[in-house]
Structure 1
Amino acid sequence: MSTSTARAPGRVRVRAVYPGSFDPFTAGHLNVVDRARDLFDEVVVLVAVNSIKHPGADQEERAAAVRAVLPVEWTSVTVAAWSGLTSAYCRRHEVGVIVRGVRNTTDLQNEYQLAAMNQSLGVPTVFLPARPELAVVSSTAVRMLGERPPSTRP
């Protein structure tokens, strides 16, 4: 696990949001959160509703599952459930940036379109590429196999 770096005095604190359906929350998701902790002062894991996906649990249950796997010492990370636009959450809660993990070029193409929309709404996106050994793990595949997600160690 990484450790957050010291912040320069007088520097503006930057809050980030990491949105997703997280059905289930995988080791890849945990790794993105861990790396985002090094980049931003606070990270909100935003358990969102995606009308295209049909999660096996409601967003409050998924949020509780995410909270359960986050290390307690990660005090700069919180979890919230949200059913609106991510950019609306960011404006309402003074979040300056959206974090998105990308596993491959298909993810990047899809995420780029969302990033362009969010940028037009005033919220930039930072992409974090998946670690190679985690790039093959997807929530959909884990759910379809009916297995527990792989180790949630970052």
Structure 2
Amino acid sequence: MARTPGRVCVRAVYPGSFDPFTPGHLNVVSRARDLFDEVVVLVAVNSIKRPGTDEEERAAAVRANLPADWSTVTVAAWSGLTSTYCRHHEVGVIVRGVRNTTDLRTEYQLAAMNHSLGVPTVFLPAQPELVAMSSTAVRSVAG
């Protein structure tokens, strides 16, 4: 993305448990790169989910799946609220991928909470060929 003089750099965060990081996740990151100056893939701890590895190992796996020339994309592990990460790291927006109306309902509730904490959310709908892709489905096939 070419920078316009005087334009503010917009950093985005794409949070998730990424257990594992799927082609759908990669697609969301790719499209977010086109919208924002910098994208942080935030490998988060979700108390509801029980991933097979810790967030540092998952972050390393995400890094290994990103193209080397994506210099505007970084990966970080985080165990707090996404909005707290955003405030501490000058991130202006949260990016979330949605596959269906069930995802949208859940994500909308999270977006409302994050908005009340000062961080807006941008939803990116899944590409049609990736709608059925989920980390749960990938784990089931791999298992």
TM (norm. structure 1) is 0.91
User: Post-superposition shift, 1:146?
Assistant: 1.8
User: Post-superposition shift, 1:15?
Assistant: 0.3
Residue 65 of structure 2, aligned match among 62, 69, 74: 69
Q: What pairs up with 1:119-138 in 2 under 5 angstroms?
A: 119-138=115-134
Q: What pairs up with 1:1-154 in 2 under 5 angstroms?
A: 5-146=1-142
1:57-78 per-position Cα deviation (integer Å, ceiling 9, x unaligned): 1100000000001001000000
RMSD over aligned CA atoms reads 0.8
Aligned length: 143
Equivalent in the alignment of 1:151: none
SS in 2 for 1:19: strand
User: Post-superposition shift, 1:145?
Assistant: 2.2
User: Residues of 2 paired with 1:14 and 1:33: CA distance?
Assistant: 15
Q: Give unpaired runs (5+ residues) of structure 2.
A: none
Letter in 2 for 1:80: A
SS in 2 for 1:28: helix
1:79-118 per-position Cα deviation (integer Å, ceiling 9, x unaligned): 0000000000000000000000000000000000000000
User: Residues of 1 paired with 2:90 and 2:68: CA distance?
Assistant: 24
User: Post-superposition shift, 1:144?
Assistant: 2.0
User: Post-superposition shift, 1:6?
Assistant: 1.6
SS in 1 for 2:96: strand
- Percent identity between the two aligned chains: 82
SS in 1 for 2:42: strand
Q: Which runs of 4+ in 1 moved over 6 A?
A: none
